[in-house]
Structure 1
Amino acid sequence: MTIEQYIKLAYKAIDDKLGEDTKVLNIGEISSLTEYFIISGASNERQVKAIADNIEKELELNGLFVRGKEGTNTCNWVLLDYGDFIIHIFKNEDREFYNLERLWKDAPELDLEAI
C-alpha cells in the first residue's frame, strides 16, 4: 500500500468514530519531520481515545504499526507516529488552543478524493 492509501484508511477510521473537521496537511515540502499531518477533533477524552484506538486497529489489520504514541494517559491530545505521517487527535478545546493548522498554514491540504 502507498502512504496515501494508508492515510485514506486512517481518515476512514477517524470518520467511523465521528472525528470532527479532519484535515490532511502535506508538510513534506516545508519540513523534514514527516510527509503528512492528519489533524482531527473530538468532543471529549473518551472519543479521542476511541478514535486513536480505531486508527491503530485498522492500520494494524493492513500491516502498518504505530512507531510511537503520546498522550494516551490524558487523551486531550493523542499523537500517533507512523513515520511518513503523524496523526493528531485533539479534544476540541485543545485543538483550538494549539491551532496546528495555523502553525502549518503554508502546507497544502491533501485532497483525499483525488487519490
Structure 2
Amino acid sequence: MLENIETLKEFIVQLLEEKKAEAITIIDVKKNTTLAEYIIFANGRSTKNVGAIAEYVALELKQQAGINVNIEGLGKSEWVLIDVGNILINVFYPAVREHFKLEEMWAKKV
C-alpha cells in the first residue's frame, strides 16, 4: 500500500513512464483548490495509445495499490481523465491537449 500522497504521485508517474507516456507534467494545486492536490498531464502517441495508457494506470493502481479509480473519456480516448481522489490524471492525444490548454490554466493559478 502507498503510505502518502507523494509516494502515490511518484508511483503514478512511474506507471505513465512504463507505458511510454510523453510530456508528463505535474502541477501542485493544493493551494488553489480542494478538487485535488496534484494534477498530472501526459500525452499518448495516438488515441489507441491514450486509452491503453489510461487503462494500464487504472489497472495497476487497483492491483498494486488497492485503489479504485473513476475513468472518463475512454470511448474516444482523445482525453481520458483518471480520478484517483487527491490526484487527477489527464492523458491526452497531443492535439487535444494543445486545444484545451488546461495545463496553462492551472499553471497560471499556482
**Which of 28, 36, 39 is residue 38 of structure 2 equivalent to?**
36
Identity, % of aligned pairs?
28
- Are 1:6 and 2:14 counterparts? no
Q: Distance in 2 between matches of 1:58 and 1:9?
A: 10
The answer to whether the 8 Å contact 1:3/1:84 transfers is: yes
Q: Distance in 2 between matches of 1:45 and 1:2?
A: 32
Higher helix share: 2
State the number of aligned residues: 107
| Matched residue, 1:94 | 96
TM-score by length of structure 2 reads 0.91
The answer to whether the 8 Å contact 1:6/1:59 transfers is: no
* Higher mean displacement: 54-63 or 12-21: 54-63
Q: Distance in 2 between matches of 1:52 and 1:4?
A: 20
- Are 1:65 and 2:55 counterparts? no
| Matched residue, 1:18 | 20
Q: CA RMSD in A?
A: 1.2
Deviations along 1:41-85, one digit per CA (max 9) or x if unpaired, are: 11111110111111112211211110x221011100000101101
- Are 1:76 and 2:78 counterparts? yes
Q: Distance in 1 between matches of 2:61 and 2:6?
A: 12
The answer to whether the 8 Å contact 1:38/1:85 transfers is: yes
Change (3 A) 1:107 1:8: farther
SS of the residue 1:34 aligns to: coil
